[in-house]
Structure formats: C-alpha cells, structure tokens
Structure 1
Amino acid sequence: MTTLRIAHLYPREMNIYGDTGNLVVLLKRLEWRGLTAEAVAVGVGDTLPADVDIVLGGGGQDAAQGDIGEDFVTRSADLRSMADDGVVMLAICGAYQLLGREFRTQTGRVIRGAGVLDIETQGSATRLIGNHAVDSEWGQLVGYENHSGLTRLGDGVRALATTASGRGNNGEDSTEGAVRDNVFGTYLHGPLLAKSPVFADELLRRAFERRAGQVLEPLDDALELQAAAVAAKRPRT
C-alpha cells in the first residue's frame, strides 16, 4: 500500500484561522479510503524531507511571518526543486506570499520570497477581510480571507479562481490565488479543504498520480458540501 508523505511547514507559527485543518482533512480523506499518510512537521531550523508528496503551509499574523520568513527563504532552492519535480503544494495566505518572488512592505522594504510562484505582493493600508466563496475549475471554494498584502500574478502562473470585485488577490482584477503545475496558493483560510472536498481530492489525486498512479475511490461529500453552502451564505462582515 502506498503511504503519502506530507510536510507541514511551521505548524506552530502559521495556523491562523484553522489552517492546520487542511492537514486533518487530507489525513481523514485518506483514512476513510483505507489509505495512509505520514505527516512531518517542519519548524524553524528543521530539515525539509526531500521525499515528500505534499507540502502544506498556512497563514500567520505579521509577527509570526517575521519569525519564519528568513528560515523560509533558506529553503528556496529545495522548494523550487520540489515544485519542478511535481510535488503538490498548498500555501495559504502568508505561506502563499512567501512562495512568491517578493513582498514589498508599505514602507518600501523588499522581502525576498522563495520564487516558486511568479507573484509579487505589495503591503497596503487596504485590508480584504470576510467570508469568501470563489469559482474554480474544481467547483466553488469556500473560506475566509483577512490580508493587507495585495498580490499580482505574473506570466508564470494562472489564477486559482475568480472572485467578485473588492476581494481575492488584490481587490481589483477579480483573481483569487495562483496555480503553477502542482503548486497552489490562496488567501482562503477556514480551513479551505474542509468545505472544498473536490479540491481536496484533486490534491490527493495529483500526489498519488505522481507517486504510484493510484486511483482514489469516491467519497460521500454530502455533509461537506452542505457545510460549504451554509458558509458561502454567511455575511461578509
């Protein structure tokens, strides 16, 4: 039996709005199918295992991002190599920004990113915050956004989803998140995968396809989809 290996980046610092729940969702969806996974927590200074199938990163408050930002960038070469090799990645909010080329603060300070995603983020006084449902090729994704970093997509990525004006990556171009090969970035907390089961299974499908060509059996997602429908109707403020 194939066992997936999942690296969870900075679970102590980067777990705002329940982002660690994305790991729980993936593990449970494997367990319900009789499949197994090994989760490896990677903190500041820890070795990032080379032989992983999925890399997860969450969001954190600005102070937490400052704590891990320098350590994150030291992993740039490893993360780029993994992305080039087809490793599945899901990065939420702060981790999404850090996978980009750079983050420019309101004061003009330039913080170098890992360069996995062709995106740039500009800090601003504008804050995009509230419940959020977006349209993607894997159906509706439902989560919660809260960020003042405004992200622009380069030519090397495409948007994960489309959204209403005033939300998403930057509040202007109706994009949300970014995709490059098997790398996905998004501002959706919540945790995202708990209310987006089709997308959760897409991540697992890609990981298994890369590892062993294994086919996933379908699950009954009625409860998850019902939760998503309720969450999508909640007021934004």
Structure 2
Amino acid sequence: MVTESQANAPAPRELTIVSLFPRDMNIYGDSGNVLALERRARAHGFEPRVVEVNRAADFPEAPDLIIGGGGQDSGQDRVVAELAELGPRLRELADGGTPMLLICGLYQLFGHRFVTNTGRELPGIGVLDVETRGTEERLIGNVVLDSEEFGEVIGYENHSGYTTLGPDATPLGTVTLGSGNDATSGAEGARRDAVIGSYLHGSLLPKNPAISDFLIGRAAERRYGSFVPAAIDDTTAERARASAKRRPR
C-alpha cells in the first residue's frame, strides 16, 4: 500500500550517463569511472541511468553525461566509423555544455586526428582542439598533476601517443610526476568547458572525487538548473590517493 507521503514524494532526479564504446574502449580499469559516477551521483541524491553505446544507433536522445575510455589501436579502428557518425551530435552536445570525460584512446579520437606510428591517420571528431601522433616511445607510470580547478590529480598513464593542444584547448593540469601529453611540454590532458580529455587511467575518478563532482554538478545544473552537493566522506579516496603517490614511477 502506498502512503500519502510516498505518493506525494518528488520523483527521483535522474541523470543519464552514456558509457561510450565500452566493448572496445575499456582498458586499465576505465569502466571504474562509470561505477564511480553511479555511486557518486546516488550519494548526491540522483538516480543514475547508465546507457552503454557500442553503435551510433544506440545513442540516447538526451544524455546528461558522457564517459569514454581507452583501448588498443585495434579498438580505435573498430569504433572510428561509429564515432564519426556520432560526431555532429557529440559536437552539438559539447557546444551545449554537456559534461564529458574521455580517456586515452577516445581522448585522441575526440581531437582532430590520430596519426599512428606507421603513418596511418584515424580521423577524429574535433570536439577537442588537439591532435595526436604515435611514437615508438611508451610513457608508462604513475602521474600527479596540479590542476587549478581540481587541485592535485592522481592517475596512471600508459600510452605512446604524443598529443599537442591547439589554441582552443587548455591542459587538465601541469605534471609534477610523470609525462602527460608528451615527454616535454609538462601538460596533461585537455579541457574545453565541460569536456575533459586525459591519458590518466587507474581508474581516474575513484581517486579524484573533485572531478566526479564537477561532471555531476555540470550535468545537474544543465538538466535541473542547480546543484547542491551532499557532504560525502572521502576517506577511502584519500587513502587510495596517498597510496598511489607513494608508489614508484
């Protein structure tokens, strides 16, 4: 039997989270970013709905937040045509302020192009003003960044692409440990308003709740007009961050 208070209770505020190409672009624990967002959104009082998109035809009409991971070059080959079909819609969503987090392989393909170390070019969709060239050098190890918005960001990199930022992109942060976008610039990742690209696996979000809160907050503000964060105990995340920082590069 439904009580009067239950009947009059407000409907849960839903957030639709798109997990982009999880079948082919999910390496080094990147699926943990989706799990972290689900749990964090619930802690903030939302009801997350995760939609896995492996084909352009499966893309939902009104996503609130988009998450994509990394993969091998073969995985990028498998998704590049579907991503190109989604390109106009994803650019429209980015222009409209939809928050997105793209890790490694999809970070590269959300730029203008990825040229492999053999010279083969995979076209990107131009959401981020970056381009990437493959090299023979592999950048591997723990990474620590200083970010003006998110404070200290901690993750793990494993990539051979060198990514260059254009004038319409800003770095996610400045590297204090590790390599980042390349071996020389001192920059890691790329930002364009609510869109974040990064090479940091790990998964990134469980160890960096400030980024989760940014993504959820932007999604909530866009859909519901406001975001009032809940007080969340981040003791476990802080312990994970401290442990990661102690590990050798």
TM range (shorter): over 0.9
What are the residue-to-residue correspondences of 1:109-148 with 2, within 5 Å?
Answer: 109-137=120-148, 138-148=150-160
Q: How far off its partner does 1:31 sit?
A: 2.0
8 A Cα contact 1:165 1:174, kept in partner: no
> Relative to structure 1, is the Cα distance of residues 123 and 161 closer, same or farther in structure 2, using a 3 angstrom cutoff?
same
Match of residue 52 from structure 1: 63
Match of residue 184 from structure 1: 196
Q: 2:110 aligns with which of 99, 102, 105?
A: 99
Which structure: larger Rg? Answer: 2
Secondary structure of the 1:126 match is strand
Of stretches 174-183 and 34-43 in structure 1, the one that deviates more from structure 2 is: 34-43
Deviation per CA, 1:153-206: give whole Å up to 9, x if none.
000110001004860001111000000011000000010001001111111111
Match of residue 227 from structure 1: 240
Give runs of ≥4 in structure 1 deviating > 3 Å.
none
Q: 1:161 aligns with which of 170, 173, 185?
A: 173
Question: CA–CA distance in 2 between the matches of 1:196 and 1:87?
Answer: 20
Secondary structure of the 1:100 match is coil
Question: CA–CA distance in 2 between the matches of 1:199 and 1:89?
Answer: 11
8 A Cα contact 1:143 1:192, kept in partner: yes
8 A Cα contact 1:193 1:199, kept in partner: yes
Q: 2:183 aligns with which of 171, 184, 200?
A: 171
Asked if residue 35 in structure 1 is aligned to residue 14 in structure 2, the reply is: no
Question: CA–CA distance in 1 between the matches of 2:103 and 2:155?
Answer: 11
Q: How far off its partner does 1:108 sit?
A: 2.2
Question: CA–CA distance in 2 between the matches of 1:6 and 1:165?
Answer: 31
Secondary structure of the 1:6 match is strand
Tell me which amino acid in the other structure corresponds to 1:141. Answer: V
8 A Cα contact 1:165 1:172, kept in partner: no
> Relative to structure 1, is the Cα distance of residues 122 and 56 closer, same or farther in structure 2, using a 3 angstrom cutoff?
same
Match of residue 25 from structure 2: 14
- Percent identity between matched residues is 46
Q: How far off its partner does 1:45 sit?
A: 4.4
Unaligned runs of 5+ in 1: none
- TM-score, with normalisation over the residues of structure 2? 0.91
8 A Cα contact 1:88 1:207, kept in partner: yes
Tell me which amino acid in the other structure corresponds to 1:224. Answer: A
- TM-score, with normalisation over the residues of structure 1? 0.96
Deviation per CA, 1:54-89: give whole Å up to 9, x if none.
000000112111111221122111110010011000
Asked if residue 211 in structure 1 is aligned to residue 223 in structure 2, the reply is: yes
Give the aligned length. 236
8 A Cα contact 1:165 1:173, kept in partner: no
Q: How far off its partner does 1:97 sit?
A: 0.3
Match of residue 198 from structure 1: 210
Tell me which amino acid in the other structure corresponds to 2:199. Answer: Y
> Relative to structure 1, is the Cα distance of residues 18 and 165 closer, same or farther in structure 2, using a 3 angstrom cutoff?
closer
Q: What RMSD in Å do the two structures reach over aligned CA positions?
A: 1.3
8 A Cα contact 2:143 2:176, kept in partner: no
Match of residue 151 from structure 1: 163
Question: CA–CA distance in 1 between the matches of 2:177 and 2:33?
Answer: 27
Asked if residue 67 in structure 1 is aligned to residue 78 in structure 2, the reply is: yes
Tell me which amino acid in the other structure corresponds to 1:184. Answer: I
